[in-house]
Amino acid sequence: MIPVQRYSGKTVAVLGLGRSGLATVAALQAGGADVVAWDDSPDAADKAEGARAELRDLTRAGSFDDVAALITSPGIPHLYPEPHPAIARALSEGCPVDNDIGLFFRSFATDDWHGFDTIPKIIAITGSNGKSTTSALVHHILEEAGRPTQLAGNIGRGVLDLDPAHDGEVIVLELSSYQTELARALTPDVAVFTNLSPDHLDRHGGYGGYFAAKRRLFSLGGPDRAVVGVDEVEGRYLANQLIEGQGDDRVIRISAGQKLDGHGWSVFARKGFLSEYRKGRQMASIDLRAIPGLPGAHNHQNACAAFAACRSIGIGPRVIEQALHSFKGLPHRSQLVADRGGVRFVNDSKATNVDSAAKALAAFDRIRWICGGLEKEGGLDGLLPAPTVVKAYVIGREAAGFAMKLKGVEAEVCGDMATAVARAAQDAQPGEVVLLAPAAASFDQYDSFEKRGDDFAAQVAQLD
């Protein structure tokens, strides 16, 4: 646990008593704060009692009279589409609002660090797609290199659940736009921006607000190194804002398709090969094509981001290359769940938006595509045409309507996962891939994309 500093003897309010909220309560208490809490759920009183915190209705007038700060869970809206009533109350009564990420960055460094030979570092990773795989890959490379490391944030453990830092340790954080938008402190040593595509637009008031939330990771704390994906104009703009000149190697540009060999520092993948260039000279090259845990151009971009982040803290190219080969990938992200008679079954349930689904479709040649669910804003045009798709098998409560939008793609309305897997398996020929890449949220049929991916794997396991 990371005890929260600066609030000893003060009253701090916590909104939301889920996983991150409960960890925040404990970390505040460990730092000497008195905690009051509020949660909208019917069992809020039981949650507060279990956390040894006073339950207080933070939506009522005067509820922040003695409160030094309100700490809110990332899933609770604080601005768009409208603030939660408790946050609106805090804003109107002048109470500072923060989240656990902000607390972490202000509390992680301690006086014990004066005795360390090597000061701990933080690598923070954000972006629309690939940030979970990139974070896990960086963590894996660090482990294989023998560096002490912990992984947290939007993946795995909450940030305040981390253990206090060890000498020379590297903390790897995956940070969502919900987390970066509100945190009052963001000071990573290395910040990574993978890419940008439309997502969570209602929460950020549009595409510009979404990009602004990501950009705060770079503008608020000023990282020593920035790794920036430049395949979209927003990434090119961000990289430009951070440099002092063309040869400024504090920014490492990355790409999943274009050659970057200018005066600065760059890492890019083309035709399955990763290349590192510095000051116009090639420094390293890795053949990514035979690495099973990183299939497709989108995973090659993840490899570039992880490679650049690890190179920025002094890990050698050959060490990174060996670690890439032993990386198994993450569940629900281009995860091979079975190979039956020459037909591969791949679970990419995390492909919940059009951009991530398009990248999954580009990773394989002949695809039996399981898709559908709760369609996101923006439509499906970014997926079409889909030349690698032999046939689509559509699930979800609105499967028929979803199928009608797949112009130029043969589609069969299946409705549920069991039917889709059975029909796709029956039709598939050796050399083809049955791919779950929904291009939609899961909440019309499942509690989460993980549950949807688990159901896919379970149905594949039951095939005759």
Q: Where are the domains positioned within the chain?
A: 11-98, 109-326, 335-461
Label residue 229 exposed, middle or buried (CB < 10 Å: 0-12, 13-18, 19+): buried
Over residues 324-351, mean pLDDT:
91
Over residues 38-66, mean pLDDT:
93
Q: What is the pLDDT of residue 382?
A: 83
Q: What is the pLDDT of residue 245?
A: 87
Q: Which of 211-220, 300-309, 356-365 has the lowest mean pLDDT?
A: 356-365
The phi and psi torsions of 314 (rounded to 5 degrees) equal 95, 15
- Contact between residue 193 and residue 218 where contact means Cβ atoms under 8 Å apart: yes
> How far apart, in whole angstroms, are the C-alpha atoms of residue 214 and residue 232?
14
Say which residue, 377 or 31, is predicted with more confidence.
31
What are the binding residues?
127-133
> How far apart, in whole angstroms, are the C-alpha atoms of residue 37 and residue 58?
8
Say which residue, 112 or 459, is predicted with more confidence.
459
Over residues 298-318, mean pLDDT:
96
Q: What is the pLDDT of residue 90?
A: 97
> How far apart, in whole angstroms, are the C-alpha atoms of residue 93 and residue 60?
11
Q: What is the pLDDT of residue 370?
A: 98
Q: What is the pLDDT of residue 293?
A: 85
Over residues 371-385, mean pLDDT:
86
pLDDT value at 400 more than 80: yes
Q: What is the DSSP string of 255-276?
A: ESSS---SSSEEEEEETTEEEE
- Contact between residue 303 and residue 297 where contact means Cβ atoms under 8 Å apart: no
- Contact between residue 15 and residue 72 where contact means Cβ atoms under 8 Å apart: yes
Q: What is the pLDDT of residue 234?
A: 97
Average per-residue pLDDT in the chain? 94
> How far apart, in whole angstroms, are the C-alpha atoms of residue 390 and residue 367?
6
**CB-based contacts of 334, cutoff 8 Å, min separation 6:** 295, 296, 298, 299, 346, 348, 360, 363
Total-model pTM: 0.86
Over residues 425-448, mean pLDDT:
96
pLDDT value at 377 more than 80: no
Strand order in the sheet with 335-340: 335-340, 343-347, 433-436, 367-371, 389-395, 411-415
Query: Measuring CA to CA, which residue among 29, 209, 172, 40 is closest to residue 103?
Result: 29
Q: What is the pLDDT of residue 356?
A: 86
pLDDT digits (tens, 9 = 90+) for 78-133: 999 999 999 999 999 999 999 999 999 999 999 999 999 999 999 999 999 889 99
Query: Measuring CA to CA, which residue among 435, 420, 453, 421 is closest to residue 368?
Result: 435
Q: What is the pLDDT of residue 440?
A: 94
What is the Cα 96 distance to its own chain's centre?
Answer: 26
What is the Cα 332 distance to its own chain's centre?
Answer: 13
416 token code pair: 């549920």
Per CATH, the homologous superfamily of domain 109-326 is Mur-like, catalytic domain (3.40.1190.10)
Q: Which fold has domain 335-461?
A: Protein-Tyrosine Phosphatase; Chain A (3.90.190)
pLDDT value at 160 more than 80: yes
What are the binding residues for ATP?
127-133
Three-point CA angle 322, 345, 376, nearest 5°: 95
pLDDT value at 378 more than 80: no
Burial 378-392 (b: 16+ CB within 10 A, else e): eebeebbebebbbbb
Over residues 158-176, mean pLDDT:
96
* Domain 109-326 shares a fold with domain 335-461: no
The phi and psi torsions of 69 (rounded to 5 degrees) equal -165, 150
pLDDT value at 414 more than 90: yes
Name the β-bridge partners of 344: 339, 433
Over residues 205-225, mean pLDDT:
94
Give Rg (Cα) of the chain. Answer: 23
Share of the chain above pLDDT 70, in %: 100
pLDDT value at 156 more than 80: no
Label residue 192 exposed, middle or buried (CB < 10 Å: 0-12, 13-18, 19+): buried
Q: What is the pLDDT of residue 206?
A: 93
pLDDT digits (tens, 9 = 90+) for 126-146: 999 889 999 999 999 999 999
Q: What is the pLDDT of residue 419?
A: 98
Angle, helix 296-312 to helix 317-326, in steps of 10 degrees: 140
Per CATH, the homologous superfamily of domain 11-98 is NAD(P)-binding Rossmann-like Domain (3.40.50.720)
